[in-house]
Amino acid sequence: MDKDRVKGKMDDAAGRIKRQVGEWTGDNDAQVEGAAQQVKGKAENAWGKIKDAARDAKDEAQQPHSKEPVKGPYSDEEEARRKHDKERGVT
Asked whether the predicted pLDDT for residue 11 surpasses 90, the reply is yes
85 domain residue, yes or no:
no
Residue 89 DSSP code = T
50: in domain: yes
- Identify the domain containing residue 23 by its residue range: 3-67
Q: Is residue 35 part of a domain?
A: yes
Q: How many residues does the chain have?
A: 91
* Entry pTM: 0.62
H/E/C letters for each residue in 26-88?
Answer: CCHHHHHHHHHHHHHHHHHHHHHHHHHHHHHHHHHHHCCCCCCCCCCCCCHHHHHHHHHHHHH
Classify residue 8: in a domain, yes or no. Answer: yes
- Please tell me the predicted confidence (pLDDT) of residue 72: 65
- Name the domain count of the chain: 1
pLDDT digits (tens, 9 = 90+) for 49-82: 999 999 988 888 888 766 666 666 667 788 888 8
